[in-house]
Amino acid sequence: MPDYTPPQDPLRVLHDDHELLIVEKPAGLLSVPGKGPELADCLLSRVQEVFPTALLVHRLDRDTSGVMVFGLTPHAQRHLGLQFEKRQVKKTYVARVWGRLEPRTGIVDLPLTVDWPNRPLQKVCHETGRAAETAWRVHRHGDTESRVRLFPKTGRSHQLRVHMLSLGHPILGDPLYASGAALAFPRLMLHSEALRLRHPDGGVGMNFRAKAPF
């Protein structure tokens, strides 16, 4: 990642209380530190400057923007982590993908594994891949692209990016999986729009949203 120049946007807090912190991650910023001092700047470190007790629960890819949750106590981190592990968190993403995606709704159910010779790329593999499932719904079509909402049932690395590629509709601006005209965009057009989860203190369902900036 030699060209790592993360954006310097001020921290955008969507919600905070005694257990939960919800923030909006900008595209181009790592969720956690990479290897080496040049990759130390990340959302976790920025969050902990303001909320010193914040603990990591999940991640978004560097080039993905949108809603992320942190626990502010060890209890909250465990509670939220189990919700993700048990697939109880409802995740909604917005993406712009290449071409006219049809039909308007569907499900991709393809197992994924790391593409070892080309790390960090992932690939579909029916022999060694881990189960991965993504539902989609087209929001609108254009001449050369479709705007879609994506609903991952699992949380594999690069899942949405590889699943859209497997349909022949890579996410626009994807530096790893798009090519040609689909690559000619200023950023990866993928945004974590909403998370629905249960509050660690009492279990009340809560929904957090951040509008896509594209």
Give the strand pairing for 105-109 and 133-141. Answer: antiparallel
Q: What is the pTM of this model?
A: 0.96
* CA torsion angle 27 33 38 43 (round to 10): 40
The CATH classification number of 12-89 equals 3.30.2350.10
- pLDDT per position as a tens digit, 93-127: 999 999 999 999 999 999 999 999 999 999 999 99
H helix or E strand, kind and range, residue 21: strand 20-25
Instruction: Give the model confidence (pLDDT) of 51-94 as tens digits.
Output: 999 999 999 999 999 999 999 999 999 999 999 999 999 999 99
Q: Which residue do the tokens 């060890």 mark?
A: 74
| pLDDT for 86 | 97
For 184-208, the pLDDT digits (tens) are 999 999 999 999 999 999 999 999 9
CATH T-level fold of 92-190: Pseudouridine synthase (3.30.2350)
- The pLDDT of 171-178, averaged and rounded, is 97
- Which of 41, 61, 109, 115 is catalytic? The answer is 61
**Whether the predicted pLDDT of 1 surpasses 70:** no
**19 close to 199: Cβ distance less than 8 angstroms:** yes
Question: Beta 20-25 vs 12-16: how paired, if at all?
Answer: antiparallel
φ/ψ of residue 162, rounded to 5: -75, -40
- Cα–Cα distance list, 171 to 57, 145, 182 (Å): 25, 9, 8
174 has catalytic annotation: no
Termini Cα distance of the chain: 24
**Which residue ranges does the chain devote to CATH 3.30.2350.10?**
12-89, 92-190
